[in-house]
Amino acid sequence: MSAHLAEKPSKPVQSQKDRFLAFAFAAADLLVEATADGTICFAAGAFKARFGAAPEQFTGRHLHRLFAPADKATLDLALYTTALRGRLPPLVLRLSDAAATPMVISGLAMPSSSGRLCFTIGRLPSLPGPVAAMTMGANVPNSFTRLAEERLRSEDGGAVSLLEVEGWSTARESLPVDAQRTLQTEIVEVLGRLGGPGSIAGEISSGRYGILADSAPDLSAVAAELEILLRAHPATARTQVQGTGLGLERNGLTGPQAARALRFALARFADGGTKATSEAGFANGLAEFIASAQLRARTVRTALAENRFRLAFQPVVNLNSRSVHHYEALLRPIFTPGNSIQTTQDFVTFAESVGLSEELDWAVMQQGVAAQVGSSGSSIAVNVSGLSMQSPGFREKVTELLRTSVAPGKILIELTETADIEDIASASSFIDELRSIGTPVCIDDFGAGSAAFKYLKEFRVDYVKLDGAYVRGALQNAREHGFLLSMIELANFVGAKVIAETIEQDDEAKMMTDLGVEYGQGWLFGKPGQLPGT
């Protein structure tokens, strides 16, 4: 134990807090005390040996910096499990050190009113045992876009590099499925290595990849090495790699503004590659895009004011009876010829990036309420972004509309994670008011990002909708199955019913039922279409 204690502060143990920390630290390599949102406020132990930096250098940073990016989703779940339940059973996560060392993390809420959490991080036992069996899916994949956005919001800086394999779509058709997967893994591994320590690499869309790193790598060198890998396969020997950089400097933008602009940039890259990203206005960075986008914002604002969009409705069913419980209202813009925005996702992301979230959500809310009133009694779920939730005027308008226009329970609010809600107290009061007038509230895409876990902790909600990526993955991967089960248990713990989305097969529906999920949504039960009775 003396080797561990060498870096521990030398002041004597006097308070209950100090005694608690010393006791917890005795069986660990690392000890971390954090706030409920994951900000480190005390660190001790072998940090220099593991990370090359003294413990005090991690104070004020997020727990995410200690663990491998691929384990971020599991860490978020662990953090909010500890805050809600008061303890975290032993869990295996990989450190963000060069070796991605597997370690066991355990947690307890501090025995005081501080709201702080204490985590001990120790070595993995050499023999299989109960700790290994308690792993909650550390390999659950994360969205590259979400990780990049969170890096931007955290003010850690960094750079995004975008690489496109030209000719990939044609080349991959001549590769067997197994060979495609192998090559895909090799590409991501190469990009991750070239990005440097702590970098994140991932596929953004078919043949298009991203690297998130502390500093931008030499793109010409990255492209050259990737082409060497591709030439080793006859089917991809003639492909070429194009790359472009996207700095994460804010240049006066707020964190949410920059994150929304980045989301739009990556969406354009996913759809049209490096050329589309440049044409969208990102050649000179995020701030320049925001400045140049205001003219195009008028087009979106006019489309909303003139209701140049429609809603499609997808059923959410009771998994046992397969009867419809309610319908989710999904935005479908009506695009005009020559408009550079031609997909629903681009429309929504662009609106958010130029500050039109509130107008978009209000327009959809009005149409959703009108559709419910004109139907034969169907209940409808309408999405509301975290950005709109922060507007007092929006909250007031929504409450008045629901109180005076629809019967209790006929409109359900789905809270989406487009941005962290800064004024938690006001948002919580708004949610309580909605529920008091009979409007249920659901957290959308639970598990896709850390804000959803925060919402579950801070807000009293009626439903939690599981992100479809976990529903798809849990059938093939036992670790993802365990992660999904942990999310379901967490929702049940706070009294929220669970909805599983993106169910397309009967075996997926059966798995959800076996896990205790009550409701499901997906093409198995119906594609988005017209609302019955209208």
Question: How far is 210 from 159, CA to CA, in rounded Å?
Answer: 10
Is 144-291 a CATH 3.40.630.30 domain?
no
pLDDT at res. 420: 67
More confident position, 11 or 318: 318
pLDDT at res. 233: 83
User: 188-211, pLDDT tens digit by residue?
Assistant: 888 888 887 767 788 888 889 988
Percent of all residues in the chain with a pLDDT value above 70, rounded to a whole number: 81
Mean pLDDT taken over the chain: 80
User: 223-265, pLDDT tens digit by residue?
Assistant: 999 999 998 888 888 889 988 887 777 666 666 667 777 777 8
- 388: closest CA among 350, 360, 348? 360
pLDDT at res. 379: 97
**Structure tokens, 481:** 């199955």
Question: How far is 394 from 388, CA to CA, in rounded Å?
Answer: 7
Q: Is the pLDDT of residue 153 over 60?
A: yes
More confident position, 488 or 12: 488
Question: How far is 193 from 222, CA to CA, in rounded Å?
Answer: 10
Angle at 336 between CA 334 and CA 338, to 5 degrees: 145
Instruction: Report the range of poorest mean pLDDT among 106-110, 269-273, 274-278, 415-419.
Output: 415-419
CA atoms within 13 A on the CB side of 129: 8
CA–chain centroid gap for 284, Å, is 27
DSSP assignment string, 250-299 = -TT--HHHHHHHHHHHHHHHHHHHHHHHIIIIITT-HHHHHHHHHHHHHH
Which one of 3.30.70.870, 3.50.50.60, 3.30.530.20, 3.20.20.450 gives the CATH number of domain 307-521?
A: 3.20.20.450
Note every long-range contact of 371-375, with CB atoms under 8 Å and residues 24 or more positions apart, other chains counting.
Answer: 371/311, 371/313, 371/329, 371/531, 371/534, 372/406, 372/410, 372/411, 373/405, 373/406, 374/534, 375/531, 375/532, 375/533, 375/534
Q: Specify the DSSP class assigned to residue 380.
A: E
**Structure tokens, 265:** 């940039």
Locate the domains of the chain by residue range: 2-133, 144-291, 307-521
pLDDT at res. 127: 38
User: 468-482, pLDDT tens digit by residue?
Assistant: 888 887 877 766 777
Question: pLDDT band for position 6 (50/70/90)?
Answer: very low
Question: How far is 506 from 151, CA to CA, in rounded Å?
Answer: 38
Task: Write the CATH number of the domain with boundaries 2-133.
Answer: 3.30.450.20
pLDDT at res. 481: 78
In 168-282, the DSSP E strands lie at 200-205, 208-213, 240-247
Question: pLDDT band for position 513 (50/70/90)?
Answer: very high
pLDDT at res. 138: 29
pLDDT at res. 323: 97
Percent of all residues in the chain with a pLDDT value above 90, rounded to a whole number: 27
The answer to whether 331 and 348 have CB atoms below 8 angstroms apart is yes
More confident position, 153 or 101: 101
- 477: closest CA among 488, 489, 487, 469? 469
Question: pLDDT band for position 75 (50/70/90)?
Answer: confident
Cα dihedral 182→185→186→191 (10° resolution): 160
